[in-house]
Structure 1
Amino acid sequence: MHPCPAHTHALHSTVTETPVITTTGLTKVYRSRGREITALDGVDLHVREGEVYGVIGQSGAGKSSLIRCVNLLERPTSGTVTVAGQDLTALAGRGPRAGKELRKARSHIGMVFQHFNLLSSRTVQDNVELPLEILGKSGKERSRKALELLDLVGLADRANAYPAQLSGGQKQRVGIARALAGDPKVLLSDEATSALDPETTRSILHLLRDLNRRLGLTVLLITHEMDVVKTVCDSAALMENGRVVESGTVGELLATPGSELASALFPVSGDASSEERTVIDVTFQGDAATRPVISQLSRTYNIDISILGAAMDTVGGLQVGRMRIELPGRYEDNVVPIGFLREQGLQLELVGPAAQASASAKEGAK
């Protein structure tokens, strides 16, 4: 599989601090039968160049409205959307009635849909060529580009097949190739894997990550599946009731005490065996995930440590783990061991009575 020649300069791209997608105060209100439904309620989002950014939330959280507002398939009720330095909300038209400038801006934004949206009467190659036809490219140029893109997504041998002859995963690969036809800077993925089985989902996610790295693509994907965020995302935002309630890099979120996303990514459970015990959630990242820190703690302070729960996985190429441990004695008895864990560069979150005792100690120290 080879990158398209037009994109080879971006093979070694990395995430930069430059935002490629920015939404500011984004609001979307739908009116239905005399009622107003607020789908987006003041959403601020900053997606940096070269990253895979996941927006996660339950059905009705506003994810689909957000991604449709990013490419102005839906026009926001208020707020602004800026993509690659251009304020799309300042351009005329919406949806299929978009003005010339908006159509041109949208040609640099690829879109991958949940249900593929392929034309059944066209071959795989013809489906990929469709955006190039709309852009007015010559037949020879369309053919060359489509075959390059099919090679890129691993379907060079299915160019003359029809959608009905493909598996779900292959159809989505065609959809991704079609989305790349206009050499977009940004790729939007609208629940692109939710109709696929787990193994196919993993292969599509790895393809998106590969394209992100090969082509320097900035990818914004929406999903309700936490494994999608865990597998490919550099950053993530959690949406609830039309608002972003948490956002940041995955590393930052995992290091944030009380983060709902961190708890959902790496759920651990277990209750203290008595009130005379201290329960702590410990998050390991990178090198810390492979060091025997817990056994060092046990030996150094001669204490028995119970492991109540643990979860470990690879996130964005970085090994990450969370562990819920129980120490003998109350919080006040464990200040030194807790300090030892913090000195090892671990993120700690006290659970239950220990959290209350810690908060009381900090308040008393003021």
Structure 2
Amino acid sequence: MITTTDLTKVFRADGRETLALDGVDLHVRPGEVYGVVGTSGAGKSTLIRCVNLLERPSSGSVVVDGRELTALAPKQLREVRRSIGMVFQHFNLLARRTVQQNVELPLELTGLTRRQRAAKAAELLDLVGLGEKAGSYPSQLSGGQKQRVGIARALAGDPKVLLSDEATSALDPETTRSILELLRRLNQELGLTVLLITHEMDVIKSVCDSAALMRRGRVVESGTLSDLLATPGSELARALFPLGEASVEGTLVDITFQGDSAVQPFISQLARTYNVDINIIGAAVETIGGRQVGRMRVQLPGDFEDNVVPIGFLREQGLQVEIASGARVVEGAA
């Protein structure tokens, strides 16, 4: 649904050049929620603004729903943008317009009658749970309610794609959770493809199907969450499921489990089968995409060579196993 190829953006000011995007390749499949995460200055917001060409890339291409936006004339681009909704961090509501009038704003350019605009706005406000607030003004709303109005307005053009630029970063945790649940529901009920920008790993973990990690204008890692969890050395997997550090003797083993393996008592089976003392250093388990997934760090007594058979047993259970540390670990053991 969204593909960027070798996307580059250079900002020029006062004789200086700043490389904000450095050859970004991104592929978002139809109907998925895709999160882009990174620290401030990583290029996330520039990327999402380039997707709908609010910022025109310096080079590279952007394809949305089969159309290359970077090759379109201005009139064609305006038409295509109607199928791309955008939700902003700071709501961008007009203070002197009611909630309903804010939602109607993009519809005023479509040729709909006043009655048709009102009916569409009422339908969208009901969809986001704010039907009773149609006559209120933004100053009378909470932050979460303002963001729901922003989402309703973004849906006014019946978009196929919804872009979210740090839409929850100004909200408290409970409100953030409700907005993320709304985005997931809209994704499922309307078949929306959602591309969201965030600096919060909890957002990625709670709502996304796939994710990309950005650093200094580049995508350094990307994939579905299940694939990332199964990738040895994945930075995103470590950040999504932090296991902590521990200075212990013996062999530290990181275990990733998902699907059917997540409900198997593999630790107790290992301890009974091989009469081995296992120390659980850290663990994190979540439900992602309807599947239970997680990671666990355990300590096995002795060096790696002493634990080849127990580690093999874990892998036979369909678990992803990495050797975090262990004296005299043989090359390629991880």
TM-score (norm 1): 0.89
The separation in 1 between residues aligned to 2:317 and 2:247, in whole angstroms, is 24
Q: 1:37 aligns with which of 14, 18, 27?
A: 18
State the Cα deviation string for residues 171-190 of structure 1 (Å, max 9, x = none): 00000000000000000000
Q: Aligned-pair distance for 1:149?
A: 0.4
- What is aligned with 2:299? 326
For residue 299 of structure 1, what is the amino acid of its counterpart?
Answer: R
For residue 193 of structure 2, what is the amino acid of its counterpart?
Answer: T
The separation in 2 between residues aligned to 1:360 and 1:291, in whole angstroms, is 27
- What is aligned with 2:313? 340
Residue 213 (structure 1) aligned with residue 194 (structure 2): no
**Contact residue 69 and residue 76 of structure 1 kept, 8 A:** yes
**Contact residue 272 and residue 279 of structure 1 kept, 8 A:** no
- What is aligned with 1:118? 93
- What is aligned with 2:75? 100
**Residue segments in structure 1 that go unaligned for 5+ positions in a row:** 1-19, 93-98
SS of match in other structure, 2:101: helix
Q: Aligned-pair distance for 1:266?
A: 0.4
The separation in 2 between residues aligned to 1:143 and 1:358, in whole angstroms, is 69
SS of match in other structure, 1:352: strand
**Contact residue 274 and residue 310 of structure 2 kept, 8 A:** yes
The separation in 1 between residues aligned to 2:66 and 2:333, in whole angstroms, is 48
- What is aligned with 1:14? none
- What is aligned with 1:357? 329
Runs of 4+ with deviation above 4 angstroms: none
Q: 1:187 aligns with which of 147, 162, 171?
A: 162
The separation in 2 between residues aligned to 1:353 and 1:79, in whole angstroms, is 45
- What is aligned with 2:276? 303
For residue 303 of structure 1, what is the amino acid of its counterpart?
Answer: V
Superposed counterparts of 1:20-99, under 5 Å: 20-92=1-73, 99=74
Q: Aligned-pair distance for 1:269?
A: 1.9
Q: Aligned-pair distance for 1:272?
A: 4.8
Tell me the percent identity: 72
Report the RMSD for the aligned CA atoms in angstroms: 1.2
For residue 143 of structure 1, what is the amino acid of its counterpart?
Answer: A
The separation in 1 between residues aligned to 2:314 and 2:32, in whole angstroms, is 31
Q: Aligned-pair distance for 1:357?
A: 1.7
The separation in 1 between residues aligned to 2:79 and 2:224, in whole angstroms, is 31
State the Cα deviation string for residues 272-301 of structure 1 (Å, max 9, x = none): 522xx1110111112222211000000001
Q: Aligned-pair distance for 1:73?
A: 0.2
- What is aligned with 2:110? 135
Residue 223 (structure 1) aligned with residue 198 (structure 2): yes
SS of match in other structure, 1:314: strand
**Residue segments in structure 2 that go unaligned for 5+ positions in a row:** none
- What is aligned with 1:282? 255
**Contact residue 209 and residue 225 of structure 2 kept, 8 A:** yes
Superposed counterparts of 1:140-155, under 5 Å: 140-155=115-130
Instruction: Give the number of equivalent residue pairs.
Output: 334
The separation in 2 between residues aligned to 1:190 and 1:303, in whole angstroms, is 49
TM-score (norm 2): 0.98
